[in-house]
Amino acid sequence: MSINVLAIDDSRTMRNMIEFALNDAGFNVCLAEDGQLGLDALDGFVPDVIITDVNMPVMDGFGVIDGVRQHPLYRSVPILVLTTESAPELKQRARSAGATGWIVKPFDKDKLVSAIHKVAA
Amino acid sequence: MHEIDLADKSEGSEFVTFLIGEQEYCIDIMSLREIRGWTPATAIPDSPNYVRGVINLRGSVLPIVDLAKKLELEANEPSERSVVMITQIGSQVVGLLADAVSDILTINRNTIQAPPDLNRDPTQSFVTGLVALEDRMISIINLDSILSTIQSEAA
Amino acid sequence: MSGMEEIKQTFFIECEDLLGEMESGLMLMESGDYDMETVNAVFRAVHSIKGGAGAFGLDNLVNFAHIFENVLDDVRSERTEANASVNALLLQCSDMLSDLIVAARDDSGFNETQYNKLLGELRVLSSKDSDEPEPEGALEEETFGFMPVMLDFGMESDDNSEPQGDVFDVVFKPQPSLFSNGSSATRLIRNLCDLGDATVICDSSSLPYFDTFDPEEAHLSWKIELRTSERQSALEEVFEFAQDDCTIEITRRHPDGQSEDDWTSADFTAQNDTELEAQTPDAPDLMGADISVTPPAPQDPLVVEAPAIIPVAVPAAKANVEAKKKTSPRATPPATIRINLERIDRLINQVGELVINQAMLTECIVDTGVAGDPSVQSGLDEFKQLTRDLQESVMAIRAQPVQPLFQRMSRIVREAADATQKSAKLVMEGEFTEVDKTIVEKLADPLTHMIRNAIDHGLESTEDRLTKGKSADGTVKLSAAHRSGKIVIEVSDDGAGINRERVKKIAIDKGLIAADVQLTDNEIDNLLFMAGFSTVEKVSTLSGRGVGMDVVKRAIQSIGGRISISSQPDKGSTFTISLPLTLAVLDGMLIQVANQTLVVPLTAIVETLLPIVKDIHQTGPKTRVVNVRGTFIPLIDLGQTLRFRSEATLPTKSVILSVEAEDGTACAILVDNIMDQRQVVIKSLEDNYGSVPSIAAATILGDGRIALILDIDDLIARSQTDQIISPLQQEVKAEAYA
């Protein structure tokens, strides 16, 4: 059974790249362009892992984390946050918000895949 | 660099030859889309004398160029036996009026000679080369130059 | 990797959108009418550009975007105030960013002086407010603590493991936060075990009794014995994400089976985040580290595979979802979809064919006489209405607001004002008017020229303006509106207006008009559109290329539009462009002249008349007028004008169509016959042929034949200019078509 990944990023380029990298690795990818649409996607898509950008319109990454952690079904789904820098305070904030891990942009395809493998049950 | 000494396909291109009066010309088959009979064209005001008008080809408006007039040869009125070659370069489609279509030939690039350098020959820019075949002398038409002059001379 | 190439192309397309958003946001900021969300949007746009650029290794872009982003971050967190000079800088930076993107896309160069200048200014702005430690400071902390020190016992010098691998003892005790952060103890243990051979022992010693048991608490811990040839860092990496949510002790066992001294990893506090790539062991600062030792389980060890009690959400039946697109759209922004333009074009053509077919069918049916039957008639009417509606809906797909196009012009205004040392601002009106996409694209160049001209030639210098009592800033106004079946776009300035004396003189000097001809103001203004006319006497920095208004006019004509000009001294000038609303369909009147069938757009027709000889007067060798209820209107002999025949038509054998141009100029056209009204599909002549004087386009009639569609405005304009062009000019024209 392949792994379902929900990827949320407002940059179309990023979404394309994630989809490209993950499809290659055999994952099922569902894409959303802002946090709210990402949460909406949970109505029809069962994620094994959620990857989310931080800065997005409508609802940002922290909103996504909140939303997922309060979701009746998916509150323990691993969430990886995409950040452009490895600033410790950002990671800390993400962690205390409930993120499981982080990926730094620009990401290396293999690192992305191994990060997913690492957290996906 | 190695010589390929098979039949000319790899070094030659295919051309369609046609007649205007007694003279034989040809164009690259890649630019030929179809061949139709002559249908009366709708005249366009102020058009150059070699544009016979426009016709409807499945919903597109195509100008018909009378090659005889363009090449400044003796031109006849088109008849039922005339042919219109529908040609395309890029996104421009134009019909070329000729008297008859004769052949499809594969012409080896090495046999193409440059046209004679006659400064006063008005057809100069429209012919890119000449090919001698048995006792025929075939001029290769530069389609690009013909199509582009249409647009620059219109209005 | 062609996949990546495609994505790179998408990136550049996306950058265009992002730049547009940036520009609108920055303009709002400049006007003072904004909120923090506006600044956020600008920040995000730059952030996204930076992210994508990083992925493709576009270093100049990344560097610039990075600092730009920092400054924007300062603004949105209100560490920096967005005053006028800051806004001006931001706008310049957005222009620079745009240039860098183009340079990256086309592999071309960019203005390095400007680049460095702006970078410097951005740095100044961002450094003066930040007292916070540089992110580099975090590096020191990275070596802090996670790694237990490797003491040299002389038996092994460092982390290199023997081929058969070492044995590690790992003690893993999750905190409750581990689970609430989506990590899974099972998974972590499994990942660890994947590194080699492992035995896992669960310590349930701290499990309380059932009555006090809280499933959200973490009571279990595990001891894992792992034989692996991996380095210790690999074990640590397993816990990379979870390190703050649990206590982990990793101990390498001495090869002879004895445990080394129990060095443990420090307890993790917020400062100890590390990235676990190739870490060299360093003497850890163990201050603040808890050295805890988990006592061996007193009871029988339970060897468990998976913790039984921790609530791990195992997703139930995984829905067979293959959706790669997002699901239900929200109500607020309308759902959009990106479509390949070719498909739309094909659809439009097909619908166009349908309309022709409908007209043909109707004609055939009418010919058979069956149309008399009421049900047939109403069926035909409905068919006609349906195809027309379909046609309109399909055309609306390609319609886009002109706003992004107008938006681009604000940069042109900035640059032009800069280059000419004038001050100018752009005002937009009706920017949400929708226009067919292909038209929007083709308007970019003409509009650019017109705006540059307006600023270069139209607007006066700031001093002159003040002397005249005008505002110091010149205004260039761009407006778009739907008007009587057309789209009207106006470019106007409040400058000095056209210097008619100068224009007339130049035209005479260049032989474009006769020296003694009398011209109305309007006619003089229109001289600007003549080929060969250009007022550039000295090359200014902008219009130096000498692109004249005739090029602009032709560009407008090539999209089926018309352009006219009006001007008032000291008040300013206005260029008016009118474009067809729907490219595809026209209501027209079929007429016949010299055995040719032509179509006259219904919107231009005022009335039809049967002429009486005495109403027609000859006013010159080639000009006639007709008396219509007391007013004399110029008469155009269509057959002669279009050179379908050489002699003039006898009015008694003709019908007169009284028509009106867009600007209201009246004219009467002499034709042989008027047939019926018809809705016709417009077919362009431009694609395969070119533009034809007095002809707008062509159409295909029910019988398959082509009929030309008259361009009334052009017809009238030409008949007017024909009368003022010098004889020399007319001869030249005639020769071109010998």
The reported pLDDT for the residue numbered C142 is 33
Contact C14 A95 (CB under 8 A): no
User: Can you give C379-407 as a three-state secondary structure string?
Assistant: HHHHHHHHHHHHHHHHHHHCEEECHHHHH
Which residues of chain C are within 8 Å of residue A107 when distances are taken between CB atoms? 55
Percent of chain B's residues with pLDDT above 70: 84
Mean pLDDT of C248-258: 70
Give Cα C98 distance to the centre of its chain.
12
Which residues of chain A are within 8 Å of residue C41 when distances are taken between CB atoms? 57
Where would I find the H helices in B35-139?
A: 67-70
**How high is the mean pLDDT of chain B?**
80
| B22-53: pLDDT as tens digits | 889 999 888 898 898 888 899 898 888 889 99
Tell me if chain C has a CB within 8 Å of the CB of A84.
yes
The reported pLDDT for the residue numbered A50 is 94
Tell me if chain C has a CB within 8 Å of the CB of A71.
no
Say whether pLDDT at C243 is over 90.
no
Could you tell me the CA-to-CA distances from B50 to A108, B22, B43, B83, C214 in Å, in that order? 62, 19, 11, 16, 95
A112-121, C317-326, C723-732: the lowest-pLDDT one: C317-326
pLDDT band at B118 (very low <50, low <70, confident <90, very high): low
Mutate to test the interface with C, among A40, A66, A76, A80 (most CBs of C within 10 A): A76
- Out of B51, B59, B151, closest to residue C356 by CB: B59
The reported pLDDT for the residue numbered C260 is 43
Percent of chain C's residues with pLDDT above 90: 6
Chains within contact range of chain B (3+ C-beta pairs < 8 Å): C
What phi, psi does B83 have (nearest 5°)?
A: -120, 150
The reported pLDDT for the residue numbered C289 is 36
Q: State whether the Cα torsion C527-C533-C538-C539 is positive or negative.
A: positive
From the list B63, B67, B55, the residue with the least C-alpha distance to B93 is B63
The reported pLDDT for the residue numbered C700 is 81
- Out of C4, C52, C327, closest to residue A43 by CB: C327
The reported pLDDT for the residue numbered C480 is 92
CA dihedral C585, C588, C592, C593 (to 10 degrees): -90
The reported pLDDT for the residue numbered C292 is 37
pLDDT band at C707 (very low <50, low <70, confident <90, very high): very high
Higher pLDDT, C578 or C262: C578
The reported pLDDT for the residue numbered C452 is 87
| Rounded Cα gap, residues C84 and C32, in angstroms | 9
From the list C607, C602, C647, C646, the residue with the least C-alpha distance to C626 is C607
From the list B60, C180, C597, the residue with the least C-alpha distance to A69 is C180
Higher pLDDT, C403 or C323: C403
Contact A79 C182 (CB under 8 A): yes
Question: Could you report the predicted ipTM of this complex, rounded to two decimals?
Answer: 0.79
The reported pLDDT for the residue numbered C255 is 62
Mean pLDDT of C439-468: 86
Mutate to test the interface with B, among C355, C585, C683, C689 (most CBs of B within 10 A): C689
**How high is the mean pLDDT of chain A?**
85
DSSP string covering A56-119: -SSS-HHHHHHHHHT-TTTTTS-EEEEESS--HHHHHHHHHHT--EEEESSPPHHHHHHHHHHH
- Out of A77, A86, A87, closest to residue C313 by CB: A77
The reported pLDDT for the residue numbered C217 is 77
From the list C234, C208, C206, C213, the residue with the least C-alpha distance to C294 is C206
Q: Which residues 52-81 of C have a C-beta within 8 angstroms of A?
A: 52, 54-55
Tell me if chain C has a CB within 8 Å of the CB of A69.
yes
Higher pLDDT, C161 or C360: C360
Percent of chain C's residues with pLDDT above 70: 77
DSSP H/E element including C720: helix C712-722
From the list A25, A24, A91, A100, the residue with the least C-alpha distance to A54 is A91
Looking at residue B6, the DSSP 8-state letter turns out to be S
Tell me if chain A has a CB within 8 Å of the CB of C270.
yes
Q: How many residues are given for chain C?
A: 738
The reported pLDDT for the residue numbered C127 is 66
From the list A104, A91, A106, A100, the residue with the least C-alpha distance to A121 is A100
| C415-428: pLDDT as tens digits | 888 888 888 888 99
Mean pLDDT of C121-128: 78
Say whether pLDDT at C265 is over 60.
no
The reported pLDDT for the residue numbered C583 is 53
Mean pLDDT of C652-658: 85
Place of tokens 């701290």: C206
The reported pLDDT for the residue numbered B124 is 55
Pick from B126-130, C368-372, C541-545, C666-670 the range whose average pLDDT is largest. Answer: C666-670
Tell me if chain C has a CB within 8 Å of the CB of A26.
no
Mean pLDDT of A84-108: 79
Q: Which residues 163-192 of C have a C-beta within 8 angstroms of A?
A: 179-184, 186-187, 191
Say whether pLDDT at C648 is over 50.
yes
Contact C689 B63 (CB under 8 A): yes
Looking at residue C288, the DSSP 8-state letter turns out to be T
Give pTM, 2 decimals: 0.47
Say whether pLDDT at C244 is over 80.
no
| Rounded Cα gap, residues C719 and C671, in angstroms | 16
CB neighbour class for B77 (10 Å; exposed up to 12, middle 13-18, buried from 19) = exposed
Which residues of chain C are within 8 Å of residue B155 when distances are taken between CB atoms? 690-693
| C68-121: pLDDT as tens digits | 988 888 888 888 888 888 888 888 899 999 999 999 888 888 888 888 888 888
Q: How many residues are given for chain B?
A: 155
Say whether pLDDT at C548 is over 60.
yes
Measured at the CA of B25, the angle between CA B23 and CA B30, to 5 degrees, comes to 165
**How high is the mean pLDDT of chain C?**
74
Place of tokens 């407006």: C479
The reported pLDDT for the residue numbered B80 is 81
The whole-angstrom distance between C389's CA and the closest CA on chain B is: 20
| C27-74: pLDDT as tens digits | 888 877 778 888 888 988 898 888 888 888 888 888 898 889 888 888
pLDDT band at B123 (very low <50, low <70, confident <90, very high): low
Could you tell me the CA-to-CA distances from C415 to C234, C389, C419, C477 in Å, in that order? 56, 44, 6, 16
Percent of chain B's residues with pLDDT above 90: 19
Does B touch A (3+ CB pairs < 8 Å)? no
CB neighbour class for C303 (10 Å; exposed up to 12, middle 13-18, buried from 19) = exposed
Pick from B96-105, C359-368, C520-529, C611-620 the range whose average pLDDT is largest. Answer: B96-105
- Out of A1, A12, A69, closest to residue C10 by CB: A12
The reported pLDDT for the residue numbered C330 is 31
| C515-537: pLDDT as tens digits | 777 888 888 888 888 777 765 54
